[in-house]
Structures are given as structure tokens and as C-alpha cells.
Chain A
């Protein structure tokens, strides 16, 4: 069955001459572990080779119809291999390490795609993914396009003089919301959108929100993911959190929410996501900040 599909695929591929630079063995059955990687694969137009994705791959919506390999940190070796992949693309978050080892032990290539949450990291990710699937030319074009859009957003934001302070909240499955410190995708996104994360100085990673430090941080805006907003019971729920009413954000009801993959995934939609966030942070800039990028936020 598997071999049959391989042969048919290879034949079709060879006949149609679709590759931009045909190579001996291009991966035909890819499992993607990481929402941003899946987005890049779709943008490179190789989604027909995707045979499985993880739970974070929620965009574009076609990705959600693919077989689910589960949560990226708790992968199952045999389950993943049952999709007969010839390439597993994964972020550094993929695990557990032993499972990655097992998959490699059976001879399946596992390519860990690095890239910190930054425009440079995104370009790096696009190039690495494109290289892994044998589409370097398409990858270079996409990387250039994204970098160009990002430059335009940054140029426009360079003129902004005020930097509103933004506290980012994320709710895990249960318990109180966590706030983002430095070395987080949320912190990087806030900085890119010409905002200031007052918690970055004293906190690393996501830590349970301390009411008093939030009041002390006096954020102008409280930023959350759509899912967190929903979990807390909408804007009113956020305003009702202890301490929020004592911050400028609470007083002026400046609560912003965005889709988590869109804002924190640092995938190909990053320029639009940053532009959207900037529009929330700098209302007076809003009309021009859009830069004709179009509203690509899937959540609204």
C-alpha cells in the first residue's frame, strides 16, 4: 500500500515536472508538528504532501481536516509512523525526546526547524522548511515577501513616539491566567508592535499572574488570546479579574484579543498580525498601519 502510493506519487511527480529543482528523493509524505510550519507548507503549496499535523496546526482550516498526531509535546512514535511519513518537520517544542529518538531509529527523517520569535527567525524557518521539502526557490520568494511586508510595518511604526505598556495574559487549561515575561513570543510581538511589556524586566517566560505586580505595572492595554478571553468570560470577565479595575487598561476598557497561532505562532502571517496588534495599541495610527495588508486574522 505504502510502496504503491510512493511509486504512484513519484511517477506523477516526475511526469508533471512540478519540482522547482527536482532532487533525487523529495519527501512525499510529510508530518508537520507546529502551527507555523504547517502554515509555511501551505504557502509553499505542498499541502498535498501533508499526511498529518499536530493540534497547534489550526490554519488554514484545511489543515484541521488532516490526521491528528496529537499535542506536540506528547507525540506517539508508532501512531506517527502509521502515517508512513518520509519526513517529520517539527519545532524545538516537539517531544518527548525519547519519541523523537524512536522515530529516527526507524529511519524516518526528523527535521527540527529552529527559529526564535522574530522576523529574522521567521525568515530562517521559511528557508529551512522550503529546503527540507525541496522548494528552495519558492521558499526564498516567500521569505522575501514576508520580510518586505515586515519592513513596511516596521518603517511605519518607527514614527510612533508613544509606547503603550501592554500586559499579555494566557490561560492554561485551568487555574489563574499566566502573564508573559521576557523570552516569550508574546513579549516579542508586543515589542514589534511598538508596545512595551512592563513585566519583561523582572520575569522570564509565562508565570502565574501576580495581581499586585499587574497593578504596579499599570498597563495601558491588556492583551489576551481569543481562547483566554473566552475562558475568562469575555471583556467583562477580564475587567472583573482582581486588580484589573485599578489599571489604566481596566479604567479605559482597553482589552485586546487575538488568535493565538496568528499572534504567537510567528508564521507567514506575522506582518499582518503585528499590524493588527499595532492598530489596537496605536488607535490614531490605525488606518494607515493596515498598509493594505488586508485583514487576515481568521478569528474575526
Chain B
């Protein structure tokens, strides 16, 4: 948001002028007021479903019908009942999977970005293009093959096969290179090479340069890539659903789906409670990191 205010500075001066010179009275009503009306309508549309789900989560034993009168009753019963449904196991699974994936993605992506940024080797240019091409076939399209691969792997490395969290993490790590590498590659290039050269003269190995100098300099991009990776694997449903089979192993996405799958019998209050618990940390994280995420959006991760 800071960059934005900097850019709009001339406009701001104009604003004050406008305000002083009378965007008031009738003209204010005509030119500005309706914007607040639009805002109010949009905010109601945006917030109502959220209020609805929060209200439903507080409504004990709530069915779909029972959840319609907002905030009629307030009780923490649903949140207490989440335990029996195994929700906390799902949340734990999601946290483990997403954290490990995020860390792995950052480490492997950064290493690759370092190699592309600092070393000149045969096939470097081709490697960069190849990376882009490899990402052209998204993993979501290959889920049948991923399923079959993991089915076979189960015989050799049971820990990497179907219905294993590690197996799912490995699948996600397959996407560690690619967009992330490009994001980091650009950032790595902005770290002056003189730093490496100086360190090298002092006798530092490439490993020392990478771990103690470069990685420290690029910490912001590492955090952004890590969080984007966390959020995207947290939101993944398709691959998690294909890979994980026993309820104990489900992630939040698969688990919550199972709760709400059949509307007639769905424990709606329970689902809502789970949804609130799962969404709140992500929303907070998002709000906190808004400007990084917004910046990262233009680099490729898309929703909507």
C-alpha cells in the first residue's frame, strides 16, 4: 500500500483542491455519494456469507435450516464436537503437509534460482526455458497418472505411495521448481555479485556464500514464496482427494468436503465450525501479507 500512496501523491494534492473548491453539496452527492452506495452493496455481498458461516458455527446441532436465523443462539458446542469427527487430525495433517511443502519448495526453488543466477553452465538458457515448458502441463491435469504412479510406488516405497502424507508432500514438491524459481531468480539477480566475489576472495566456499550471504539477502522473497506455496497447497483439493484415502489421513479440504457432501444429512453447524477454524488463520495471514501476495499475483498464481 505504501507504493500506492507514493504514486498517487499528485492526485492527492488535486483531491485537497477539489475538496476545498467545493466537491460538496449537490456535486458531492452526484459524484461521490453513489460510490459509497456501491461500496455498501458490495460489502454486504462479501460479508453476508461470512457472517452466515460464523453464525452457523455457533448454532449448536445446527442443520441447514437451523442455520438461517443469524446469531439466534451462540454456543461453542460445534467447536467442541469437532474433536469427535477427527477435524483436528485433518487440520494437523494439513499443517504438516503445507509446512513441509513450503519449506521444501523454498529450499529447492532457491537452490535452483541460485544456480541459474550465479553459475554459467552448459544448457543454462535451455534449462530456464525447459522449466517454463515443464510447467505448461499442470499437475491438476495429470492426476490420473499421479494416482497410477503412487499406486505402483506403494509396492516399493510404501511411505511414498497412495494414502500417505509424505507421498502427497512429494507430489506437491514436484511443482517446487517452475514459477517459484522464476520469481526467485529475478530477485537473486538483484543481489549484487560483488558480494559473492568479495566472499570468494576471503575464501568462502560456494556453500557458505549460498547459505550465509545470498539466502540472508533474499529472505523477503523466500518468505513470500513459502507463504504462497503454503496457501496454495492448503487450498488444494483435487490431488489431496486422489492421493489420500483413509479418513485419518485427510487434509482439511478433503475432510470438510466429506462433512458437507450430502446436504440433507450434513452436520452443517459442525462443518461451519470447521470452516471457520480453517479459514481464520488463512484470512489473517492473507491480510497481514496482503501487499506481498498482491505483488506475487502478477507473477502468476491465480484464483478466480
Q: Do the two chains belong together in a single complex?
A: no
Chain A residues close to B by CB (< 8 Å) = none
